[in-house]
Amino acid sequence: MTDPFVVVGGDAAGMSAASKAKRDAPGGEVVVLERSDWVSYGACGLPYYVRGEIADVEDLVVLEPRAVIEDRGIDLRRHHEAVAVDREARTVTVDADDGRYEQPYGELLLATGGRATLPDVPGTDLEGVFSIRSLAAGRALKNYIAPHDVRPARGVEGAGGDELRAHLDEADPDAVGIVGANKIGIELAEAFVGRGLDVHVFDAGPRVLPAFGSDVAETIEEHLRDGGITLHLGTTVEGFRGRDGRVEAVETAVEPVAVDAVVADVGVEPNVEIAAGAGIERGPTGAIATDEYGRTNDPNVYAAGDCAEKRHLLTGEPIHWPFALAANRAGRAVGRTVSGSPTPVGGVVGTQVMKVLDLQVARTGVVDHEEARTAGFDPVSALITTITRAHYYPGWSRMVVHATADADTGRLIGANMVAPEGTAHRINAVATAITAGMTVEAVGSLDFGYAPPFGPVWDPVLGVAKVLDEKLR
């Protein structure tokens, strides 16, 4: 490791890299520059914090700053924002509370993360319009919809605190609009319903959760409507209307919908401004392009996490995949590489699982036929409806499973599924099979464990593989 190893960004990828580098090369100097209050936190838990299932926003913090500094020996500098990189001088320009300075680096990791993509419409600056990709944003949102349920931040100045309460105590919203029927949007819809709010979800597309495939969307949409959520699908949002600076309606091409708050989040945009200013190349997705070890076009500069591209293991193409496991894994690999043990950051097959009210929804691989053909596959699919436990064991429920294979090779290339239980571990089995390049026939022959409380004799994964194998013959 060429000292100092400087990390820009103190969340999943950044802290994983810093911790691993310091562990493997304890004599090396590791500096982490983080512009906010918190480091290493679970942003995926924010919808459950907003709902109230998690009491304190600090409960989402994985590593306390004291532990980073004292136990791990990392030079952690919070409220230090990196604003520029000089690759020739090997310095980072940093704005801190006590002024601007130049931080030298031997090797540099850009782990600058991503931010919510807001719709390009009027009114996004109104009070009551939120995005939610940080702890501070999550705390501000909860403060707005339930100001009496927000606890003071422990030892964090200005963390969505008292300056909001003076005028938000009277907000007391009844209706909330969500723009974006994606994973974070649907998870927040559940959180708002859990708080007794009237929830409206808007999306220009015809289905919710498009990444999970149209085959399970109908089941999900019916379940959302039954849960009291109003879906405005195929609906273009034209702006947000306000009164006295506060949002009061979502303007659509059809009619305005009265709301008291809005969460507008139609995707994740990588934070690449520092990289672009330094001449670091971006890939076709707009995120930072890297090689298999996370190196950029500058061999002394790495990128990992939501700001960097990943490689899709099925298509071989770069993909922007802003999820926690990929970020942690890539950061850890970079930490090993800079400390002397070159380690690939690894690829992804696109595995996701989420909770939709009392349904579990999961997907992995390539499930869309058009996407499969673009990647060079000849897709063939099978759809089954089965059960989650043995039919005679109490509590079983229906499960819908859709799987896709390549007709030329017989290889399993994707699956999605929905049920009240049992999808998370099953989709992981499918992801393992896809990563290993297994054929549908081989998947159908796997020796799965069986017991009536956990599944039928023919597990849903084995069942859909059996049906798909017949279609391929």
Q: Cα–Cα distance between 211 and 367 in angstroms, integer?
A: 9
pLDDT band at 2 (very low <50, low <70, confident <90, very high): confident
Helix (DSSP H) and strand (DSSP E) numbers for the chain? 13, 25
Q: Which residues are catalytic?
A: 44
- pLDDT, one tens digit per residue, over 3-33 is 899 999 999 999 999 999 999 999 999 999 9
Would you state the pLDDT for residue 216? 85
Residues with Cβ < 8 Å from 447, sequence gap 6 or more?
Answer: none
pLDDT band at 167 (very low <50, low <70, confident <90, very high): very low
Comparing C-alpha atoms, which of 231, 204, 34 is closest to residue 121?
Answer: 204
353 DSSP β-pair partners: 362
Does the CA dihedral 409-414-418-419 come out positive or negative?
positive
High-pLDDT (> 70) share of the chain, %: 95
Copy the structure tokens of residue 431. 């992801």
Residues with Cβ < 8 Å from 251, sequence gap 6 or more?
Answer: 121, 123, 237, 238, 239, 240, 241
Would you state the pLDDT for residue 437? 97
Burial of residue 370 (CB within 10 Å: 0-12, 13-18, 19+) is exposed
> Residue 383 in contact with residue 374, Cβ under 8 Å?
no
Helices (H), 266-374: 273-277, 324-338, 369-374
Interior CA angle at 268 toward 64 and 54, to 5°?
Answer: 40
Q: Which of 147-151, 277-281, 318-322, 371-375 has the weakest average pLDDT? A: 147-151
Residues with Cβ < 8 Å from 385, sequence gap 6 or more?
Answer: 398, 399, 400, 401
CA distance to 49, 199, 256, 333, 366, per residue, from 230 (Å): 22, 6, 14, 43, 29
- pLDDT, one tens digit per residue, over 414-454 is 999 999 999 999 999 999 999 999 999 999 999 999 999 99
High-pLDDT (> 90) share of the chain, %: 85
- pLDDT, one tens digit per residue, over 322-369 is 999 999 999 999 999 999 999 999 999 999 999 999 999 999 999 999
Q: Cα–Cα distance between 227 and 221 in angstroms, integer?
A: 10
Q: What is the mean pLDDT of the chain?
A: 92
- pLDDT, one tens digit per residue, over 96-110 is 999 999 999 999 999
* pLDDT beyond 70 at 155: no
pLDDT band at 157 (very low <50, low <70, confident <90, very high): very low
Domain annotation for the chain: domains and CATH numbers = 5-36+79-114+269-338 (3.50.50.60), 129-266 (3.50.50.60), 352-472 (3.50.50.60)
For the segment 215-236, the average pLDDT, to the nearest whole number, is 94
